[in-house]
Amino acid sequence: LNGDKSKFLALYERERMKVEERLNDALKNREPHSLYKPAVYILKSGGKRLRPLLVLFSAKAAGGKFSKAYNAAVAVELLHNFTLVHDDIMDNADKRRGRLTVHKKYDLSTAILAGDSLLSVAYEYLLKDSGDHLKEVLDSFTHGLVEVCEGQSMDKDFELLNEVSINEYILMIEKKTAAMAEMCCIIGANIACASKQEIKALAGFGKNIGIAFQIQDDLLDISANESEFGKFVGGDLVEGKKTYLFLKALEKSKGKDKKDFRGIIERKGIKLDEIPKFKALYCKLGVLEDARDEIIRYSNKALSKLKYLKKQEDRELFIWLTDSLIKRNR
Ligand code: IPE
Ligand code: IPE
Ligand code: MG
Ligand code: MG
Ligand code: MG
């Protein structure tokens, strides 16, 4: 099993480097610099490149070649980076991937437009291939983007709501995060001319892994080591986000603790120096473990969708990927 693990890691790294090379080319020799310099700044700041790898692995699992999926892989990473730049504006975030966010490094208008340019070039890359399934690929990409906008809007709306249920939270993260993971798997599958059954299996995997991924992002937001995480730890509490941990804490707490959590909603967030107190409350209430349990539950649900894949080796690759995601610290 250990041998297999290093085999999958080597495959991931090899393909990640290929995506990296193509991302480097994507914005090369373009003008004006005022537009592309900040776009390159975010793009080359060292993301995990999970979404392009989902495209590539899904194409492989549907019997296709990596080589046919690189342009789409680049497109989804560009789209992802667009969402990050705009998300950081919306979330008042100063730090991303261990660096200043684009709107902090430059300014607001620069960041808005840099985001727009990333989205535009993403479509350019998607349209580079004229395979039989271009219509499906474009449909899926566009649907993913619409979902992200809806999810992000819900995320902002939730900041101001007194009552948000866990079900509503799940719907919100299905849209803001899981829809894009699902989209990546569907695009990869379509490029490889997958059967309906394979597309459905990979889509189900992507969606559930995306839900697990966002709950884990919520967990890392309070529990991570900041230099590894690359983002400001505690930011969700400061912004008054309705994360999985926050909603669980609200549900489980009693008396004074519950009043304190209610107070966060009233005050629309907390002060920086209150982060340790609320982290301690999260620990006391056991919501970090609750989040862990949910991450594992959705990860297993994701893996259960893969029974229609033809090759055991591809299933094992996704098992490895899921396992590495659960263990990630950034
Ligand atoms: C961050 O995505 C946004 C979320 C959906 C949580 P990633 O954690 O994949 O960010 P990078 O691309 O690796 O920086
Ligand atoms: C963002 O969720 C999801 C996106 C669509 C970008 P978060 O706001 O939690 O992502 P991070 O933590 O800032 O990366
Ligand atoms: Mg956000
Ligand atoms: Mg954010
Ligand atoms: Mg987050």
Residues with CB under 6 Å of ligand 1 are 47-48, 50, 80, 97, 177, 214, 217
Strand partners, 99: 96
Looking at residue 1, its pLDDT comes to: 58
What distance in Å separates the CA atoms of residue 58 and residue 184, rounded to the nearest whole number? 8
Distance from chain centroid for Cα 205: 14
Please give the full DSSP string across 81-108, using - where no structure is assigned: HHHHHHHHHHTT--EETTEE-HHHHS-H
Which residue puts its alpha carbon closest to atom 8 of ligand 2? 87
CB-ligand 2 contact for 101 (6 Å cutoff): no
CB contact burial 245-283 (16+ within 10 A = b; e otherwise): bbbbbbebbeeebeebbeebbeeebbeeebbeebbeebe
- Closest atom of ligand 1 to CA, residue 180: 5
Place of tokens 């967990």: 219
Say which residues have a Cβ less than 8 Å from residue 147's Cβ, sequence separation at least 6. 174, 175, 176, 179, 180
Q: Decide: helix, strand or coil at residue 141.
A: helix
Distance CA 95, CA 81 (A): 14
Contact 83 CB / ligand 2 (< 6 Å): yes
Tokens 């970090």 sit at which residue? 288
- Write the DSSP symbol of residue 178: I
Q: Say which DSSP state 68 is in.
A: G
Handedness of CA 173, 204, 141, 52 (dihedral sign): positive
Q: Is the separation of the CB atoms in 38 and 102 below 8 Å?
A: yes
Q: Can you tell me which residue has the tokens 């297999």?
A: 4
Two structure tokens written together for 280:
């301690």
Quote the pLDDT of residue 129: 87
* Single-letter amino acid, residue 137: V
Ligand nearest to the CA of 330: 1
Distance in Å, CA 15 to ligand 5 centroid: 26
Q: Return the residue whose CA atom lies nearest to atom 5 of ligand 2.
A: 176
**46 dihedral zone (left: phi>0; alpha: psi -120 to 50; beta):** left
Q: How far apart are CA 118 and CA 139, in angstroms?
A: 19
Asked if residue 69 lies in contact with residue 188, where contact means CB atoms within 8 angstroms, the answer is yes
- Which pTM value belongs to this model? 0.98
Interatomic CA distance for residues 294 and 289, integer angstroms: 9
Q: Going residue by residue through the chain (330 aa), what tens digit of pLDDT does each one get?
A: 567 789 999 999 999 999 999 999 999 999 999 999 999 999 999 999 999 999 999 999 999 999 999 999 999 999 999 999 999 999 999 999 999 999 999 999 999 999 999 999 999 999 998 778 999 999 999 999 999 999 999 999 999 999 999 999 999 999 999 999 999 999 999 999 999 999 999 999 999 999 999 999 999 999 999 999 999 999 999 999 999 999 999 999 999 999 999 999 999 999 999 999 999 999 999 999 999 999 999 999 999 999 999 999 999 999 999 999 999 999
Which of 255, 252, 235 shows the shortest CA–CA distance to 243? 235
What the block records as the tokens of 94 is: 């100063």
On whether the CB atoms of residues 138 and 196 are closer than 8 A, the answer is no
Separation of 153 CA from ligand 3 center, angstroms?
9
Mutate to test the pocket of ligand 2, among 50, 84, 148 (most ligand atoms within 8 A of CB): 84
